Amino acid sequence: MNTLTRCTVVLALLLAPALAAWAGGPQVRLDVAFGKPLLYGPSPERLNYLKIGMTGFPMADARERTPVNLAIVLDRSGSMQGEKLQHAKQAAIAAIDRLNREDIVAVVAYDSDVRVLVPATKVTDKRSIFRAIEELEAGSNTALFAGVSKGAQEVRKFFDHKRVNRIILLSDGLANEGPSSPEDLGDLGASLGREGISVTTFGLGLGYNEDLMTQLAQRSEGNHAFIETPRELARVFDLEFGDVLSVVAQEVQVTVTCRNLTPIRALGRSAVIRGQTIEADLNQLYANQEKFILVEVEAPAAGLPELKPLVEVTVKYRNMVTKAEDTLTATVEIGFSSDSKEVAGRENREVMVSAINLLANEQYKVATRLRDEGKVDQARQALEANKKLLLKGSIDYRSDKLEKMAVQNEMDAKNLDDASWNKTRKNMRMQQQSIDMQQAW
């Protein structure tokens, strides 16, 4: 009994959609893998990680990209006065300039009340749109909730599953009119996300509420960025538009059925685990970017041939190029071996790096919470411990990404004093959101 079971990895595509895809156009790439696909038979390591990665196909022709339906929601509260508003206007104008006649854009500005500067309209007359943006002046309060609400209303006017429906929110201040808790905004984000509208949030300067802004982005699956100086606005808008203009799939539904495996929890992106099934939704996939669901699973206590751990993954999504609803499936097994060397060698480095990154991110969040509670020393210790964990991971799996993260942790540990905490926290929240949601920038 040199080998209990031969490890087999089966990637089976269902026949009909596969044929359709083959004939009809590019498909999203589905990579399903365990961190440890081969376990030591006699006493298998229980904890394992399942990664369901989806990579958007490259866009063959930029001109054939998915048309977008966008609402740019700009903060024009008093604090935006001057350089900030100037850069925001320029960045918005430069970004809209990248759109073409098939795209739809709306511009909403809010201070103590909300004005729809440009109602949702096709980008045929850029000049009048730019003029409306240029005439924007700073006002008083920050009715952020109402701003997003009106932005959503504008997007909804031309809502189309064949478009990229998105709100880009820029704010530099605390929401102080209407609902302003991260929970309320997060719930609104979740609701919009379910509808197919993502909200990308840009926090400008050190005055905004990073919890609110990251919640809104994360729960609607938009991007988030902490923009320290107004000068960076143009670059970030550019990056965001890079994403917006490269959406290749939307309404992605992932269903995982486990056999002889117990899913414990999802790391990073949220997923609903009910018994042996895991369900997760993604709003969109961008060209050449991998988004993934990562689930911590528990393998059986002993490797028996008749109890072979197995997952069946189904991914449904709307293909933005073929406009068809596609389905991808995959089945992945865990093998058992009595050769511990072989077991170690078969470890999936990529999955393990992702897992360690997300696990460390959990600790990173814990450190933030500790610092919020005023436990500066404990927060520092948590960050230091996290750094060590990450460094070990980076050595074990030869990962630059983990090393970078370790450095980040170390830097943050040095910036927990009152003077720099605000900035550090904003940065941490951005990193946490970015890692959870695999934001590319």
Partner 1 sequence: MRTRIAAVLVLLVVVPLGLLAWLGVRVAEADRGRIARTFDDLLRSKLGETDALVGRLLEERLRVLRSTFEETPADAATLDRRSRSHPWLGQCFLQGADGKVIFPALDGGLTPDERSFLDRFAPVFDGKMLLVAPHDAPVPQLPAGPVPSPSWTRSASAPPGQTRQPAADPAPTLSWPRSAFTPPDQFRPRSENPTARFRDSPSSPGPAGPEGPPPGPEAGWFPWFSGSDLRLLFWLRRPDGSVTGAEVSRPRLLADLIGAIPEPSPADPVLGKGAVLLTDSAQRVLFRWGSFLPPAGHPARLRVGLTGPLSSWALQFHASPALENGFGNTTSGFPLLAGLLAVGLVLAGLAVFLYRENLRELREAGQRVSFVNQVSHELKTPLTNIRLHAELLEQDLADDDDTGRRRLAVVISESQRLGRLINNVLTFSRQQRDRLALKPSPAVPDDLVRGVLERFSPFLAGRQVILETSLQAGRSVAVDGDALEQILNNLLSNVEKYAAAGGQALVATRQAGDTTWVLVRDAGPGIPPDQAGFVFEPFARLHDSLTEGVAGAGIGLTISRELARRHGGDLRLVGRPEDLDGVPDAAGLFTGRGAFFLASLSCPSAGGAA
Q: Which residues bind partner 1 (CB under 8 A)?
A: 112-116, 140-141, 143, 145-146, 148-150, 152-153, 156, 177-179, 184-185, 187-188, 190-192, 194-195, 272, 274-275, 279, 281
The count of residues in the chain is 441
Residue 197 Cβ vs partner 1, minimum distance, rounded to whole Å: 9
Residue 418 Cβ vs partner 1, minimum distance, rounded to whole Å: 29
> What is the b/e burial string over 401-440, where b = at least 16 CB atoms within 10 angstroms of the residue's CB?
bbeebbebbbebbeebeeeebeebbbbbbbbbbbbbbbbe
The enclosing H or E element of 108 equals strand 104-110
Count the helices and strands in the chain (H runs, E runs).
12, 18
149 or 399: CB nearest partner 1? 149
CA distance 12 to 369: 43
Residue 369 Cβ vs partner 1, minimum distance, rounded to whole Å: 17
CB atoms within 10 A of CB 283: 23
- The residue among 248, 239, 244 whose CA lies nearest residue 57 is 248
Residue 423 Cβ vs partner 1, minimum distance, rounded to whole Å: 29
149 or 408: CB nearest partner 1? 149
Strand order in the sheet with 325-333: 9-10, 325-333, 310-319, 247-259, 277-286, 272-274
Give the amino acid at 310.
L
CA distance 337 to 349: 18
369 or 404: CB nearest partner 1? 369
CA distance 176 to 179: 8
DSSP letters, 273-325, are EETTEEEEEEEEEEBT-EEEEEEEEE--SS--GGG--EEEEEEEEEETTT--E
267 or 332: CB nearest partner 1? 267
Residue 140 Cβ vs partner 1, minimum distance, rounded to whole Å: 6
Residue 107 Cβ vs partner 1, minimum distance, rounded to whole Å: 13
Residue 153 Cβ vs partner 1, minimum distance, rounded to whole Å: 3
